[in-house]
Structure 1
Amino acid sequence: MTKVATFPLPGIKHGNRILVATIEQRAKNDPDSSWVSAPIDNNDLSRGYKEITFAEFNNAVDHAVHWLKQNLPAADEPFQSFAYAGPKDLRYPILAAAAGKLQKVMVLPSPLIPPVAQRLILSKTQCQVYIRPSSMAQVVGAILEDAPNVQQITAPELESLLQESPAEPYVYPKAWEEGKNDPWLVVHTSGTTGYPKPITYTHQMMAAFDVAASLPDIDAFMLHHAPGRRWYTPLPSLHLVGMTMILSMTTYAHGTLVTGPPTPPSADTVVDIFKHGHVDSALLTPALIDKSPLSRKSGDLLAPHVQLVPAIGTTESGGYFTKFRRDEKDWDYIEFQKHAGAVFEPRSGDLHELVFVRLPECKMQQVFLLYPDIDRFETKDLWVEHPTRKGLWKIVGRMDDYLPLSHGDGIYAASLEPEIEQHSQVKAALIGGHGRPLPVLLVELHDESEVASDAGRQAMIKSLQPYIDKVNEHCHDCVKLSPERLIFASGGKAFIRTVKGSVARMPSLELYKEEISALFENN
């Protein structure tokens, strides 16, 4: 069993520390402690890694502070916002920390969302400055074609920030109570059910690790596995999880983040990072190992050899406050900490919705910092409880994944679609037909030319029949799938993806509303 740390850490008063001020303190009191471990050569990880200390990090942040002061346009209002997008490198956390020190707001639009969605985020955050490297001038220019009020600024090179020459120190001016509710970072939702929505994180929301460390009565979770350990995640800092790992985990919990090359990692690259970066722990996306979500087969192979812990959260609620359990058999179940205020309310059959309820004794309820005027937050996540071990829960999908039909019955589409996706030529499957008497199957193929001819279509339907039959084994007669209600995605209408790469269910079904209607009008 891996030895875990106990909190509070010696000599530290947790729970009321502004992150950017804590970076300053780490640089002053523990200057040689490692913040990040980065490859010496991104093209040859076998050359080893170099440590970037907190003193070097804080110096880079101060260089970035002075660069922002010189380059941002004058602003009359406090908390001026600016957007930043760039390659996967350390400019993200350095500029983020600099923004926090300067009491600016850094907006983090994902390049994977459509330009119209990016412009909507810029508009909602009153953002009139977009910082990007020179290599992205054309890309960002195309995004801003219909936003002439947004000014582009070329970002500094990373080397000009992570330089040895000392920057003039710039000290964050506020104490905890004065600055905790100030806005700092804007991330956005994935856009599963519509356009991504901007979510503003305050300094207090980014201090969740430190607040947890101040609680005397919590069970082990990620915090306890951080001090003195080397963590890796492939998630970039433009995402909330990546930014939390590189800023909060390192600064508050005294872990070191090991980084990899800027390109999307393959499984082989991750193995090399583990080996040459001397990684102790990792926060990985399931797709790197198998698929999303992690299959039972792959998890069962891993669980005897590592402590395999599901991690889940949302942009609005942050990382869910759960326990770290070592459980080779029921590794895919989650147990919540009592400070989360998690309640599971019955919805349909054995399905329950996770609801966070505001309770005065619960100290880890980030969603109520975001929405201070509500006392309950319905996540729309559906869970099932372990059949014999009460208090253990497994997420199975979203409320949106439930398909109600006109006769009052319905099916949980998300549990059935993976059966169709087992077909080697199927890229994705969706079950739709909300409010119709019978469900409709939509199939996106890897190669839509396979069904370009009538003969090809009939051959593909025939090859799909065994998979449809397998789905129907789990369905009542009134909700069974049929080849007669099958639509192949085509004509340039590929399923819409979220920034996570998953299919955006409702927007994708909306693309085919006319085809779905035609099935029932003709019958």
Structure 2
Amino acid sequence: MTISQSVFPLPGVQHGKRIIASVIETRAQKDNDTPWVSLPINEENLSLGFKDISFRSFNNAANHAAHWLRQNLPETSEPFQKFAYAGPKDLRYPILAVAAAKLQKVLILPSPLVTAEAQRRILEQQKCTVYLRPSTMTTQVDVILHDAPHVQTIDIPDLEEFLKDTEAEPVTYSKTWDEGKNDPWLVFHTSGTTGNPKPVTWTHRMMASIDMMAASPNIKDSMVHRAANHRLFTPIPSLHLTGMMLILATTTYVNMTAVLGPSTALTPSIIISVFQNTHIDGTLLPPALIDGLCLSDAGLAALRSLNFLMYAGAPLAAKSAALLTPYIPVVINGVGTTEAGGYFATHHSHRDPDAYLWLSFAQQKGAIFEPRTADGLHELVFVREDSATTSGEIDTDDEPVIFQTYPHLTRFETHDLWRPHPVHKDLWQIVGRTDDYVPLSHSDGLHASSLEPEITAHAAVKAALIGGHGLAKPVLVVQLVDGTTASEFEVESLRPYVDKVNARVHECVRLEMGRVIVATEEKPFAYTAKQSVARMQSLELYEAEIAALEG
């Protein structure tokens, strides 16, 4: 189902060139506005229902937080003072983000899923010497800062101290679009899938990319179009770019209401309870959670009730897609990076069973596909349409985010590999990365991530990795779904799936059943913050087993 007529512009809204903090302040003055978020009345008992939080309450909480920051951050004459924050998965993240904007400060968002060393490196690179955390996380943050005594830690109040009914003295964002659009605001970091996590600074203009997209007459049916004026549930924390874009930008700019679950780690059973106790139009989930929900009738019923399902961070297993696509009007891959943001690839009218795999970039500014392999794989490359913007001669507000991250570049190679649709030539399927290539000792090799979905189609396989870098033959390592042990798994049951892989590759790089390793419960695969498998780290866990295959 495609959108025949764009939902934008929203009634009474002039999209584009609006800074989030200013829009929130404006919406706070309205009565009967769309709620900002909806969250459980009682996290321990979701059957009690959900309560809506208005933009008026959100702005008031940000004002309370801004006053607290003024009183507690060290005095400085430096512009755009930086401070880091880590806490539980609650509303303090977006509240602090807006408070930082009001005060023209910069919020750094380190993820607890990366190592302490990586977090310290990010703080050092950003020259950040202040770290906020709740008292409940004192121990965790102290471990991170053990070798960084110059970083000052400050206890932050409970959420209730910000999100209270008492009216705060207004703290107003004071700049116009042109004055503030290029100011630094939020610092995220890459997941570390392909190396050490690196910080990426997002400006107000970059965070407004959703509003810029809404203002574009060329883009008709993106994920943002689907989310506008709807209630969307996602468990993605706000410390990640995707989570913050949803809870801050998509809610503020296009009237989405973010439905939140409990602040604890979510399981399929908790998600089912969320769906049963509040209205949800769509969701964005990691495929691992979708797979878990597909294992029960209640989970399937919850997902099948949706108007749209977005997945992100990893491929959606074919076995899960087969259970969902006949029932959900739109199942779509949410593709993007911390450096480039969402790609805003669009949905399409192609309705074959594999429609969920394909995206259109026909309306994506600056996106081209360049041939990379003999078997037809292409790399997505962004090119700057006017190179004069690198010198500052032209300031194009709607240029791709990647060229705001790297303003000196005129082209950016994403390293993402895509396959063109055999019939619909404007559609593309992401199949892996250029750095997923496994070179073998005889100079041939294979692109592992384009083949691994053939193995994960096995009902008992949660994840699969093809390795063997520098060896004569590739190696297959599989991780089993929860509840299936390595000792009871029949490796021979993989043969039909291995045969499918081998049918797609040259005989000199084919998989052999004798070179299959089953991951043990003691050494599960490593995962990134996006819940995708950390390829090299996971393969390194099985270095000894791989070496043993070589005799």
Q: TM-score, normalised by structure 2?
A: 0.85
Q: How does 1:243-392 map to 2 (within 5 A)?
A: 243-290=244-291, 292-305=314-327, 306-325=329-348, 327-329=350-352, 330-348=355-373, 349-360=375-386, 363-392=398-427
The 3 A distance-change label for structure 1 pair 434 and 254 is: same
Distance of aligned partners of 1:173 and 1:362 in 2 relative to their CA distance in 1, 3 Å threshold: closer
Equivalent residue number for residue 87 of structure 2: 86
Which SS does the other structure have where 1:389 is aligned?
A: coil
How far apart in 2 are the matches of 1:204 and 1:112?
28
Cα distance in 1, alignment partners of residues 348 and 158 from structure 2: 42
Measured after TM superposition, the shift of residue 378 of structure 1 is 0.7
The CA distance in 1 between the partners of 2:232 and 2:526, in whole Å, is 33
Mapped partners of 2:289, 2:491: distance in 1: 31
Match for residue 507 of structure 2? 477
The answer on whether the counterparts of 1:340 and 1:363 sit within 8 Å (CA) in structure 2 is no
Residue range with higher mean Cα deviation, 100-109 or 428-437: 428-437
Which residue number in structure 2 is paired with residue 188 of structure 1? 189
Matched, 1:170 2:171: yes
User: Is residue 286–residue 531 contact of structure 2 (8 Å, CA) maintained in 1?
Assistant: no
SS in 1 for 2:157: coil
Shift of 1:318: 0.5
Q: Residues of 2 paired with 1:309 and 1:424: CA distance?
A: 22
1:394 matches 2:413: no
Query: CA, structure 1 residues 9+75, in 2 after alignment: closer, same or farther (shift >3 Å)?
Result: same
Measure, in 1, the Cα distance between the counterparts of 2:58 and 2:220. Answer: 31
**In structure 2, distance between residues paired with 1:210 and 1:42:** 33
- Rounded Cα–Cα distance in structure 1 between residues aligned with 2:7 and 2:481: 50
How far apart in 2 are the matches of 1:304 and 1:443?
Answer: 29
Distance 2:523 2:223 in 1: 41
The share of aligned pairs that are identical, in percent, is 54
The whole-number CA distance in structure 2 between the counterparts of 1:289 and 1:366 is 29
Aligned 8 A contact 2:39 2:261 in 1: yes
Partner SS, residue 28 of structure 1: coil
Change (3 A) 1:274 1:383: same
Q: CA RMSD in A?
A: 3.0
Q: CA 1:45 to 1:356, structure 2 compared with 1: closer, same or farther past 3 Å?
A: same
Map 1:5-154 onto structure 2 (within 5 A).
6-30=7-31, 32-154=33-155
Give 2:347's aligned amino acid: F
**Partner amino acid, structure 1, of 2:277:** H
| CA drift at 1:204 | 0.4
1:41-87 per-residue CA deviation (whole Å, 9 max, x = no partner) reads 11222212211111111000000000011111112311111111111
Distance 1:483 1:324, change over 3 A: closer
- For the residue of structure 1 that corresponds to 2:356, the secondary structure is coil
Contact 1:338 1:362 (8 Å CA) reproduced: no
Q: 1:109 Cα deviation (Å)?
A: 1.0
CA shift, 1:20, in A, is 0.7
Residues 232-282 of structure 1 show CA distances to partners (whole Å, capped at 9, x for unaligned) of 111111111111111111111112111111122233332332342211222
Do the aligned residues in 1 keep the contact of 2:223 with 2:344 (CA within 8 Å)?
Answer: no
SS in 2 for 1:66: helix
Distance in 2 separating the partners of 1:338 and 1:440 = 40
Are the structure 2 counterparts of residues 50 and 494 from structure 1 closer, same or farther at C-alpha, using a change threshold of 3 Å?
A: closer
Question: Structure 1 residues 114, 263: closer, same or farther in 2, change over 3 A?
Answer: same
CA contact (8 A) 1:35 1:255 kept: yes
Report the residue type matching 1:298 in the other structure. S
1:433 aligns with 2:468: yes
1:198, distance to aligned residue in structure 2 (A) = 0.9
CA-CA distance at 1:485 after TM superposition: 5.2
1:231 match: 232
Q: How far did 1:428 drift?
A: 4.8
- Residue identity opposite 1:372 in structure 2: P
Aligned equivalents of 2:125, 2:233: Cα separation in 1: 33
C-alpha separation between the residues in 2 aligned to 1:220 and 1:428?
Answer: 31
Q: Distance in 2 between matches of 1:424 and 1:404?
A: 29
Q: Which amino acid aligns with 2:342?
A: G
CA contact (8 A) 1:32 1:55 kept: no
CA distance in 1, matches of 2:194, 2:134: 31
- Larger mean CA deviation between 161-170 and 471-480 belongs to 471-480
CA distance in 2, matches of 1:44, 1:479: 53
Unaligned runs of 5+ in 1: none
> What secondary structure does 2:372 align onto?
strand
> How many pairs does the alignment contain?
515
8 Å CA contact retained: 1:212, 1:364: no
